[in-house]
Amino acid sequence: MQVLLDPKYLFTIILLGTIVYITYLSKRNENSSDFFVGGRVFGWFTNGSAIAGDYLSAATFLGLAGLTFSIGYDGAFYTFSFSIGLTLLALFVAGPLRRLGAYTVADFVAYRFHSKRARIIAVIVVLAISGFYAAPQLLGAASILSMFFGTSYEFGIIFTSIVMIFYVGVGGMKGTTLNQALELWIRLGAFIIMVAAAIYGGFHYDKILATISEFSGTIINTGAFTEDGKDLVFNGETWYKSGSFNPNFWHSISMVIGLALGTIGLPHILLRFYTNPNAKAARKSAVMSIGIASLFFGLAVYLGVVGRAIFLEGNASPEVMKNLVTGGDNMVVPSIATALGGQWLLGLVIAGAFAAIFSNLSGLFIASSGAIAHDLYAKFSKKELTEKQRVRAAKWAIILLGVFYAVLGLLVKGASIGHLVALAFTVGASTFAPIFILGIWWRGITEKGAIAGLVMGLLSSLFMIFFSSVLPEALQFRVPGIITVPIGFLAVYIVSKLDGKVPADVNSFMRKVHAKE
């Protein structure tokens, strides 16, 4: 009983209980429209919250403040690059995508070009992006469980996968959307309370930035936790300026391109716009989610700076100092919470971190289960499936994905959450972003052009992620958007121009996605 009153257990149990309750309430998924797009009934507030919930993953909740803490200005710049994408999505894609009224991301590609081949390639890309994205979320969940509840890494991965299979498999898109909206407000609430506590504690932005930028020397009370027993050395001037992550201007530009356009290519975010009742609600949802995400990003950078200020003061509790020295980037937010508000705020932050992970993973599960059950099984099945069979297929796909993601989660132990997510963005920016932008706005895109864009975008991204070390140093980008995104766009354009065979109903398609409702 005493254990249950510990805030971290209490808040986590409340969160899990709420998820079970909402999932149970929304378990009636009679047809594929209910399961994949929640019956298209969600208004701008709920869907806007859910989009933000989907977008603000563990990488943002834990990673961005952690990056700002460790690399300073470049962490803030990383956050800034993330903040651009949803706006581009709102300007060019949200409304037209909703007007098409499909179920999955691959539907867009297949219907636009009347091509089964394009559908299969789109499914492969969806699974690649969601794999890159889901693995670090599971890693985050397992790390938190291990750090705060003493479980093993493997247990954390399996436990989270089982929770997600239940959460998405039973609730479908309806339960997922409501849970995502609720979870968004839990973690935003946690951040707002942390910021209020920091300001109350005298950590004013202008003052702490001045102190940090002028700091040079050793950080007291850190030697007890370092391997060589010596206090850590810190140079505030380097931290305060650009250059610790992006070594030159072109790396910064590459990061902006990769992360900004990557959002347009994320299947779980694109899918959310199908759940609105109409295009107007889709646009408003996008604006709402941008407002929330922007606030969240701003607070994350500030909290990263607060964390650095607390660390440099060196008088936080030994537990906090130890976590800041040895815990890595992902432990910065929980450590700041402990320093500012003790165990209660830490409990809320842990619940917020789980909320971020569950929210993001559920979006990935829904998007990928649609890719397997709707895009592959239902479309390529020889017999006509009933609505019940389609929903059942989606549930089986979720179990399959749970196992697949769990295996990936086990393989990425020790990797950086933020970096893996950036790689998912790179694939999205180089594959779906060209197809969606050009597919919606240019009549000249052909089936072969689209397939070439998807294949070249995917292959170039994978090459730049796994084999960039064979290239000259100047071409080794951490976020290689500057190379892979133009390859994706150019492949679509050049092959379409050479091919020249556009679908005969392209004008009707344009009318469908652009005409006023």
Partner 1 sequence: MKEKEFDMTDEPRETIDAKKLPKLDGETRFIIRSEFRTGLTLTIIYFLFVFSVPAMNWFKPDWAFAKVFGGISTSWFLTSIVAMVMAFIIAYVHTKLYERWEKKVQTITSSRK
* Total count of residues recorded for the chain: 517
By CB under 8 A, which span of 194-202, 250-258, 343-351, 402-410 interacts with partner 1? 250-258
At closest approach, how far in Å is the CB of 55 from partner 1? Answer: 12
Site for partner 1 in 277-316 (CB under 8 A): 280, 283-284, 286-287, 290-291, 293-295, 297-298, 301-302
CB 77 to partner 1: min, Å: 6
- Per CB under 8 A, the list member of 35, 42, 61, 77 interacting with partner 1 is 77
Residue of 135, 138, 164, 256 that binds partner 1 (CB under 8 A): 256
| Contact set for partner 1, span 445-484 (CB under 8 A) | 446-447
Rounded Cα gap, residues 209 and 507, in angstroms: 55
Q: Return phi, psi of residue 401, to 5°.
A: -65, -35
**Contact (Cβ atoms closer than 8 angstroms) between residue 374 and residue 367:** no
Report the SS3 class of residue 218.
strand
φ and ψ of 233, to 5 deg? -105, 140
What is the nearest approach in angstroms of partner 1 to the Cβ of residue 16?
32
Would you tell me how many other CB atoms lie within 10 Å of the CB of residue 467? 9
Phi-psi region of 476 (alpha: psi -120 to 50; beta: other; left: phi over 0): beta
Q: Which is nearer to partner 1, 147 or 510 (CB)?
A: 510
Q: Which residues contact 494 (CB under 8 A, 6 or more apart)?
A: 449, 452
Window 135 to 174, contacts with partner 1 (CB under 8 A): none
Residue 56 phi, psi (nearest 5) = -85, 85
Residues 497-516 that bind partner 1 (CB under 8 A): 500-512, 514-516
Identity of the residue numbered 475 = L
Sign, CA torsion 407/409/415/420: positive
Helix ranges (H only) for 328-476 are 332-369, 379-380, 387-411, 417-430, 432-441, 447-466
Q: Kindly tell me which of 28 and 511 has the beta carbon lying closer to partner 1.
A: 511
Total interface residues for partner 1 by CB under 8 A: 81
Minimum Å gap between C-beta 508 and partner 1 is: 4
What is the footprint of partner 1 within residues 365-424 (CB under 8 A)?
379
Q: Could you tell me which stretch among 85-93, 268-276, 334-342, 349-357 binds partner 1 (CB under 8 A)?
A: 85-93
Shorter beta-carbon distance to partner 1: residue 134 or 293: 293
Alpha helices (H) in 116-152, listed in sequence order: 116-149
Q: What is the identity of the amino acid at 320?
A: V
Residues 109-128 that bind partner 1 (CB under 8 A): 110-111, 114-116, 118-119
Query: Does 240 engage in binding with partner 1 (CB under 8 A)?
Result: yes
Cα–Cα distance measured from residue 264 to residue 208, given in angstroms and rounded to the nearest whole number: 36
Q: Which of residues 5-44 bind partner 1 (CB under 8 A)?
A: none
Q: Which is nearer to partner 1, 30 or 214 (CB)?
A: 214
CB 104 within 8 A of CB 367: yes
Taking CB under 8 A as the rule, which mask of x and - marks residues 181-220 in contact with partner 1? Answer: -----------------------xxxxxxxxxxx------
Give yes or no for residue 239 binding partner 1 (CB under 8 A).
Answer: no
Q: Give me the amino acid identity at 148.
A: F
State the residue for tokens 């100047």: 474
Q: Does 245 bind partner 1 (CB under 8 A)?
A: no
- Does position 271 interact with partner 1 (CB under 8 A)? The reply is no
Closer CB to partner 1, 112 or 395, in the complex = 112
For partner 1, which is the closer residue by CB, 155 or 205?
205
